[in-house]
Amino acid sequence: MGFWIATGAFSALVALALVMAFLRPRAAGVPTAAYDLRVYRDQLRELERDVERGVISGPEAERARTEVSRRVLEADRALQATTRGSVSGPKGKAMIGAAIGLTVAGAFGVYLQIGAPGYPDLPLATRISLVEQARAARPGQADAEDGISVRSAPPVDAAREALVMQLRTIMEQRPDDAEGLSLLAANEAALGNFRAARLAQARLIAVLGDAASGRDYIDLAEMMVLAAGGYVSPEAEEALQQGLQLAPRDGTARYYAGLMFAQQGRPDLAFPIWRGLLAESTPDAPWLEPIRLQIEEVAFLAGVDVSLAELPQPGRGPTAAQVEAAGEMAPEDRIAMIQGMVGGLADRLATEGGPPDEWARLIGAYVVLGETEAARAIHAEALTVFADVPTALDLINAAASGLEPAE
C-alpha cells in the first residue's frame, strides 16, 4: 500500500507542476498578424490624407485603397486563426488538463499490465534463494533431450558406423562387458549419438560400481550436456559432482561446472571457477576458447570489472629458452636476470595459480639459481596441485629431474 500512496502522491505533484506552468500568466506578446493589421490601417489613414492634400489622384487612390484593404482582410483572418489555435483559453486549458490526466492514468495502466504490483523488494539473500529454487526445479535430462529438435550431424564415417553396429550387437549379448561399454560410449559420441553414448556410459558406471573413476563420471556428464544441446541438467550436475569428488582438478569438469552456474543465474560462482581454470590450463586446453568467449560477460554479471586481457593467461612467465640462455651467462648476470623473472612468476603462481608449464619453468629457474630447497618446495606443491593430471605431472617431474634427492 505504501508504494501506491508514494506513487500517487508523486504523480499528483508532477501533474500539479505541469498545470501551474500552463496557468502561469505570460507576458503579452503581439502576433505578427496584429502588427501587420496596424500597419495596413495606418497606410489607409495616410492614403486618405494624401487624397485630401491632392498629392494623389482619385483613380490611383482607389487602386491603392483596394490593395491595402485586401491586405487588411488577410491579416485579420490570420489574427483570428492564431487566436483560435491558442491554448490559453478555457478550452485549451481543459484539453491540457485532460491530456495530463490521461498520461498519469495511462502510466498506472501500463504498470498494472507489465509491472509487478505488490512485489516486495528482493535482498541479495532472497534473490539467491529464488535462484536456487529455480535451479532445483529446472528441467531434467529427458525433457531437455526431447526439446532438441534439430541436431547437426557430424561427417559420415562409414568405418566407425560399421564398428558401432557391431558393438551394439555384441553389447546386447554381453551387457556387463565394461571394455565393450567404454568403446561403445566413445564411438557413439564420436558419431554424434550423444543420447546413446550417455546411456552406454551410465551402464558402464553401473557395471564398474565403486571402481568407476572420476573420468568416467565426467565423461557421462559431458555426454549428457552434449545430448541436451549444451544444457547442464540436474542429472548432469550430479555426475559432475561425483566426478569432481574423485578428480577435483579435472579441467573438463570444472569448465562444465562453471557453465552450469552461468546458465542458472549464479555468475558469482561461475566466474571464480573459470578464472582459476584459465590460469591453470595449458595453452592447448580445449575449454580455453569457450571460456574466453564468455568470461567477460560472466564477470560483468558477477559484479567484477575486468577484461579478458587482465585475467591470468596460459603461457606467461620466463620461457624455457630464456632459462637455458641464462645458464650460459656470467654468474652475476645470470642470477640478476633469473631473479627478476622468477620473483614475479613465483608471486603470481602463489596468488593466482597457473598452467603446469609455468610451474615447470619456475622449478627449472630455481635449479639454475642453485636454490634446490625452493625448487623442491615448488615441485612438491605442483605435484599436489596437479595430482589428477598425468600429463602435467610428467612435465613437472621432467623439470625437477635435475634435483638431487633430499638427504
Shared-domain flag, residues 167 and 295: yes
* The last residue of a domain, from among 292, 310, 328: 310
Number of domains in the chain: 3
Shared-domain flag, residues 259 and 338: no
Shared-domain flag, residues 184 and 286: yes
User: Binning pLDDT at 50, 70 and 90, where does residue 86 land?
Assistant: low
Shared-domain flag, residues 195 and 285: yes
In-domain check, residue 152: no
For the stretch 256-277, pLDDT in tens is 999 999 998 889 999 999 988 8
For the stretch 332-344, pLDDT in tens is 665 566 566 676 7
* Residue 118 amino acid letter: G
For the stretch 99-114, pLDDT in tens is 777 877 777 777 777 6
Residues with Cβ within 8 Å of 170's Cβ and at least 6 positions away in sequence, in order, are 177, 180
Query: Looking at the predicted structure, is the pLDDT value of residue 359 above 80?
Result: yes
Shared-domain flag, residues 202 and 345: no
For the stretch 2-46, pLDDT in tens is 666 777 777 777 777 776 766 665 544 556 666 676 777 777 788
Q: Quick one: which of 146, 132, 147, 149 has its CA closest to 234?
A: 132
In-domain check, residue 134: no
Whether residue 357 contacts residue 315, with contact meaning beta carbons closer than 8 Å, is answered with yes
Q: What is the pTM of this model?
A: 0.55
Q: Which structural domain range is residue 376 located in?
A: 320-399
d(CA 182, CA 211): 14
* The last residue of a domain, from among 270, 290, 310: 310
Whether residue 15 contacts residue 101, with contact meaning beta carbons closer than 8 Å, is answered with yes
Q: What is the overall mean pLDDT for the chain?
A: 79
* The last residue of a domain, from among 61, 90, 114: 114
